[in-house]
Amino acid sequence: MARSDVVLDRLTRLHPKKIDLSLGRTLDLLEKLGRPQDRLPPVVHVAGTNGKGSTIAFIRAILEAAGKRVHVYTSPHLARFHERIRLAGKLVDEDALSRALEECEAVNAGAAITLFEIVTVAALKLFSEHPADVLLLEVGLGGRFDTTNVVERPLACVITPVSIDHVEFLGDTLAKIAFEKAGILKAGVRAVIADQEPEAREVIEKRAEQVRAPLLIGAQDFQAREERGRLVFEDGDGLLDLPPPALPGDHQIGNAGLAIATLRATFPDLPESAFAAGMVNVQWPARLQRLSHGALVDMAPKPSELWLDGGHNEAGGKALAAALAYMGKRAPRPLIMIVGMLTTKDSRAFLAPFKALASEIVAVPVAADHAGRAPVELAEIAGEMGVTASQAAGVGEALASLARRAWPAPPRVLITGSLYLAGAVLADNGTPPT
């Protein structure tokens, strides 16, 4: 076990709950560490339900194409914890991560604190100690009481599309969830928000007005669209005609547009070439990622396509289904889904958009420590939708079973339903993020 894993295991035991939204414990520890949150590079703070990671990936790709040094903080990780912290373009190394965690552990001195709180403090400490031009900071959950919401004066605040998720913590309506997301908005700080459902937009606009945050709104102040295989972005400063995003799916057009709008408002001197390079070079694992080699790929039916996506809520299901439907029109193949989900997610809402697309759904478990839904339950839901369903002990077994069949046409296999499942797939395939 790596040194950092040993420390993380100890830190997990400092608080009885995995999630407990509060800023008090974080602020106390930051104060004891000398307030590293006051010594960060300019911060772009990103909240929302879907698309946070992809939007950050686009921003990072564009900035790095322009020669900027970029720190990134995202969660959860897929295969290794180190993926959460990127220092000036590179994943944090084992020694630096371990030292930061151990120092935070020592200063915390056994006080109650959640794992996300203390690792976020460790990340902020690392970001304050390494020079960079910008820090892209992703909200973990909600926004108002999220641990990342300790930066008093970010460069910009971004809110991706808001939808129903984490109702046990954020509320069961769009308005309640949007209120929590809008909690990151700060007085006088530019806010850039994606096109939202009216219920969510109203709440965000009201909060922006209350704190006097200048607001740019998707589909009103800027828009991005696909035209003849290109991405066309337009705002008050003009038009950009760019290559299509390397991340597949129509929903990525919107994520790219939000990233471009944010950078046009905060880094006005970026050349158009950087935006173009960012569209081509962007990478974000487990978001409709084509797996082309690896141990699991070798187990899949030959020839077939193997895709991986960490989508897990209703909005994610709709976006993913739309992307698969588009693929099916361009290159028809039977769609086989290997699905594992958590008990905290609405499996029926996630799977519903695939009712007319999936030829078969194979339900698999998610790692036991992540409250995975029993495969028999997932299979029952798929069966009630009218989709042929079965169960397997894991992704490898599911792929091996599919490979033993005779296929009239090579299938398109999609592994989806949970980021935790996606992380396990990348690890087992031998292709973890770098």
Which secondary-structure segment (H or E) carries 232?
strand 230-235
Closest CA to 353 of 206, 249, 277, 238: 249
| Burial class of residue 102 (count of CB atoms within 10 Å of its CB; 0-12, 13-18, 19+) | middle
pLDDT score of 433: 92
Enumerate the domain spans of the chain.
Answer: 3-281, 289-429
Asked, colleague to colleague, whether 3-281 and 289-429 share their fold, the answer is no
Which secondary-structure segment (H or E) carries 290?
strand 289-290
Under DSSP, is residue 239 helix (H, G, I), strand (E, B) or coil?
strand
**What CA dihedral angle connects 432, 125, 55 and 285, to 10 degrees?**
0
Distance of CA 282 to the CA centre of its chain: 14
Under DSSP, is residue 140 helix (H, G, I), strand (E, B) or coil?
coil
pLDDT score of 45: 98
Residue 286 CA neighbour count, 13 Å, CB half: 28
pLDDT score of 170: 81
Q: β-strand 289-290 against 305-308: which pairing, if any? A: antiparallel
Cα–Cα distances in angstroms (integers) from residue 416 to residues 150, 265, 340, 421, in the given order: 33, 35, 7, 7
Domain 3-281 superfamily per CATH: Mur-like, catalytic domain (3.40.1190.10)
Which secondary-structure segment (H or E) carries 338?
strand 335-339
Phi, psi angle pair for 425, to nearest 5°: -65, -45
- Structure tokens belonging to residue 417: 């339903």
Q: What is the mean pLDDT of each run of 10 residues along the chain (434 residues)?
A: 92 80 93 98 96 97 98 95 97 98 97 95 98 97 94 97 82 92 97 96 97 97 96 96 95 97 97 98 94 96 94 92 93 96 94 95 86 94 94 96 92 96 96 92
pLDDT score of 369: 64
pLDDT score of 338: 98
- Structure tokens belonging to residue 427: 């690890």
Distance between CA 297 and CA 292 in Å, rounded?
A: 7
Cα–Cα distances in angstroms (integers) from residue 406 to residues 298, 335, 411, in the given order: 17, 15, 11
Q: Which long-range contacts (CB under 8 A, 24 or more apart) does 34-40 make?
A: 36/121, 36/124, 36/125, 36/127, 36/128, 36/129, 37/124, 37/128, 37/150, 37/151, 37/152, 38/152, 39/128, 40/124, 40/127, 40/128, 40/135, 40/151
Residue 277 CA neighbour count, 13 Å, CB half: 13
The structure tokens 């299938």 sit at 411
Residues 6+ positions from 170 with CB-CB distance below 8 Å: 141, 142, 176, 177, 180
Question: Are the C-beta atoms of residues 166 and 139 closer than 8 Å to each other?
Answer: no
Please give the span between the terminal C-alpha atoms of the chain, in angstroms, as a whole number: 19
pLDDT score of 368: 64
Amino acid letter for position 15: H
* Architecture of the 289-429 domain: Alpha-Beta Complex (3.90)
User: DSSP character for 372?
Assistant: B
pLDDT tens digit sequence for 298-325: 999 989 999 999 999 998 999 999 999 9
- Structure tokens belonging to residue 355: 């009712």
